[in-house]
């Protein structure tokens, strides 16, 4: 059983900035490390699961 809701490689949005698309790079100790899709060389952003929203396909 996996304890994380989002899999590595999943695209998500942060609740604080829903216009910025992120990709889950790593999951360690209940913390998600995300890269910015439009700027992958930028430093990773760190979020808890409750701070993320999945990207819905329309």
Tell me the per-residue pLDDT of 4-13, one tens digit each, with 9 for 90 and over: 899 999 999 9
User: Is there a contact between 13 and 52 (Cβ–Cβ < 8 Å)?
Assistant: yes
Check residue 57 and report its DSSP letter: P
pLDDT digits (tens, 9 = 90+) for 29-49: 999 999 999 999 999 999 999
**Distance between CA 57 and CA 31 in Å, rounded?**
24
54 by Cβ neighbours in 10 Å (0-12 / 13-18 / 19+) ranks as exposed
Q: Domain residue spans in the chain?
A: 11-54
Stated pTM of the model:
0.87
């Amino acid at each position: 059983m996996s304890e994380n809701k989002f899999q590595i490689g999943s695209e998500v949005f942060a609740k604080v900035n829903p216009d910025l698309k992120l990709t889950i790079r790593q999951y360690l100790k209940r913390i998600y490390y995300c890269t910015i899709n439009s700027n992958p060389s930028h430093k990773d952003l760190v979020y808890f699961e409750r701070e993320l929203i999945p990207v819905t396909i329309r």
